[in-house]
Chains A and B, each alone.
Chain A
Amino acid sequence: EAEVAQSPRYKITEKSQAVAFWCDPISGHATLYWYRQILGQGPELLVQFQDESVVDDSQLPKDRFSAERLKGVDSTLKIQPAELGDSAMYLCASSRRQYEQYFGPGTRLTVT
């Protein structure tokens, strides 16, 4: 069964450093999502792509976060500079149909 791939699974970085996460969606899924999940809370959407275009980035802190999906397949989420409050799980999901999102295993980020 196809799965959403994410790397790295765990990342520890120091405050003010740059960090990047990678996501490879399920083949054929045109829509890709990045979520942030703070410990003890539900995921919150950061950015949504339809193919290579951003369709919703209203909750993305654009002063330090950026996301791209250049060829409409895999995607990278970057934080520069990282802050202590960015410590969280970053989840990627993809979907083909409107109401079925499939989640990857996530990247656990710790900022020290």
Chain B
Amino acid sequence: AQSVTQLGSHVSVSEGALVLLRCNYSSSVPPYLFWYVQYPNQGLQLLLKYTTGATLVKGINGFEAEFKKSETSFHLTKPSAHMSDAAEYFCAVSDSYGNNRLAFGKGNQVVVIP
């Protein structure tokens, strides 16, 4: 079974500072990895995904993530936080063999301090 670990349910970051959200996964097969963002009382929006190829993936709103197989990690970063980045962020994993079932982490609630 696949799983994702996201540590630190709440993350506070100053406006303009680096945003770093950590994600470690467990998978017995090559994984597909995703980051989603969720605003209050809304559905999930895909930020970025890794399937194959380049391990540094760029997404929307200035976010990027790097797949590191040796560390089983897929950490999300953004160089400079904006007030609009305040939201909940979820890392998810699925397998690459056609199952397409997403296993989500518990999420990180990001608070941006002016």
Contact = CB atoms under 8 A, between A and B. Distances in A.
Interface in B32-75: 32, 34, 36, 41-46, 49, 51
Interface in A80-105: 91, 93, 95, 98-105
Interface residues of A, number: 25
Contacts of B46: 100-102
Interface string A54-66: 0010000000000
Contacts of B82: none
Contacts of B45: 103
B25 interface: no
A61 B4 CA distance: 23
B98 A42 contact: no
Nearest to B41: A108
A45 interface: yes
B107 A104 contact: no
Contacts of A43: 44, 90, 102, 104
B5 to A, nearest CB: 11
Contact of A91 (B9, B44, B49): B44
A106 B41 contact: yes
Given A91-B44, A106-B41, A99 B100 contact: yes
Interface of A: 4, 6, 9, 31, 40-45, 48, 56, 91, 93, 95, 98-106, 108
Given A103-B44, A106-B43, 12 more contacts: A9-B41, A31-B100, A41-B107, A42-B105, A98-B98, A99-B49, A99-B51, A100-B49, A101-B46, A101-B100, A106-B41, A106-B42
Interface of B: 4, 9, 32, 34, 36, 41-46, 49, 51, 90, 92, 94, 98, 100-102, 104-107
